[in-house]
Amino acid sequence: MSVPRALVLGAGGQLGMACTARSPGSIEVVGVTRRECDITDYGALERCLDRIAPKVVVNAAAYTAVDDAEDHPEQANAINADAPSALAEICAQRGARLVHLSTDFVFDGAGTAPYAPDSRTAPLGVYGASKLIGEQAVTASGVSHAVVRTSWVYAATGHNFLLTMLRLMRERSVVRVVNDQIGSPTSATGLAEICWALALREEVSGVFHWSDRGEVSWYDFACAIRDEATALGLLAEPVSVEPIANEAFPTKARRPRYSVLDVEETCSLLRVAPRPWREALRDVLRSVSAMEEVRP
């Protein structure tokens, strides 16, 4: 009996790489990068799915440049809104289940308690709005699906807050970080495992939330990165991390002040518990250390 196939779109990104690396043994996974399949090209998506014939598609491809999206709304919407709509239609036609990644940016951050999957959405900018349109298209398509909202994703590779902080802490004696935006850091590795768990639950469709356990500010996260990286020898000495208000670090796109996600429904369904965010951070930094050791 042949092993069912799964397709990971956006396999060159940090989550796509994690999904490829953490795939269950019961599935043959084929990862496709942006260069190999332009998800904004309907015909290219059809050809890709026809060639691979997956039972599950994980869409980890996205336009994630939050500030640039304000200047390039057409591109953001093409990737985050139109492409998921087309992908859902193509998956439905072929009987493939779709796991689609979304974001805490669909909320405005005005709340003070963790957002549930059915909480009112109100994105503040182009990025969040485009992601909301994309997830709405998936849920309305009739395809078997799991839309997974997550927050503050990072990994040992790619472009993320963790690696940016490590670079800045190696270059500067003082790093200033916003202390009045609250969320939950999420390891791409743990998120990938949840994506696969939901991929295998064909009987359920809907919106699910996932992050690691705990809520912190970006400043708290940066301090933890410094302390853990110093302990592992990734930093020669601990640098000074100074808290600043959001207003002192203006950006083109507004960010939600509070975007902690309520993951209880996902935990109950899958019978899992999120890892404490600092424990997950420590493991990712160990991976960074191991990768640096083997570099020439």
Domain regions of the chain by residue span: 5-159+184-213+259-275
Biggest alpha carbon–alpha carbon distance for the chain: 60
The count of other CB atoms within 10 Å of the CB of residue 250 is 7
**Is the pLDDT reported for residue 48 higher than 70?**
yes
Look up residue 275 and give its two tokens: 């890892």
Rounded CA separation 170/209 (Å): 34
Look up residue 222 and give its two tokens: 């940066």
pLDDT reported for residue 69: 96
Instruction: Give residue for tokens 């998506």.
Output: 45
- CA distance readout (Å), 144 to 102, 132, 138, 185, 295: 16, 18, 9, 28, 43
**Across 270-282, average pLDDT:** 96
115: enclosing H helix or E strand: none
Cβ 87 vs Cβ 79: under 8 Å: no
- CA distance readout (Å), 161 to 11, 98, 178: 20, 28, 12
pLDDT reported for residue 250: 84
pLDDT reported for residue 249: 81
Model confidence band, residue 237 (pLDDT cutoffs 50, 70, 90): confident
> What does the pLDDT look like over 13-37, one tens digit per residue?
999 999 999 888 888 999 999 899 9
Sign of CA dihedral 282, 279, 190, 222: negative
Rounded CA separation 282/226 (Å): 11
**Is the pLDDT reported for residue 296 higher than 60?**
no
Question: Which residues are registered as beta bridge partners of 261?
Answer: 115
3-state secondary structure of 276: strand
Rounded CA separation 101/147 (Å): 6
Cβ 104 vs Cβ 259: under 8 Å: yes
pLDDT reported for residue 71: 96
pLDDT reported for residue 244: 95
Average per-residue pLDDT in the chain?
A: 94
Fill in the amino acid letter for 236: A
**Is the pLDDT reported for residue 50 higher than 90?**
yes
Cβ 5 vs Cβ 55: under 8 Å: yes
pTM: predicted TM-score of the whole model, two decimal places? 0.94
Rounded CA separation 108/192 (Å): 26
Closest CA to 77 of 134, 123, 119: 134
pLDDT reported for residue 57: 97
| CATH code of the domain occupying 5-159+184-213+259-275 | 3.40.50.720
66: enclosing H helix or E strand: helix 66-71
Which residues are marked as active site?
127
pLDDT reported for residue 294: 67
Which residues have a Cβ under 8 Å from the Cβ of 131 and sit 6 or more positions away? Answer: 62, 80, 81, 102, 103, 105, 106, 123
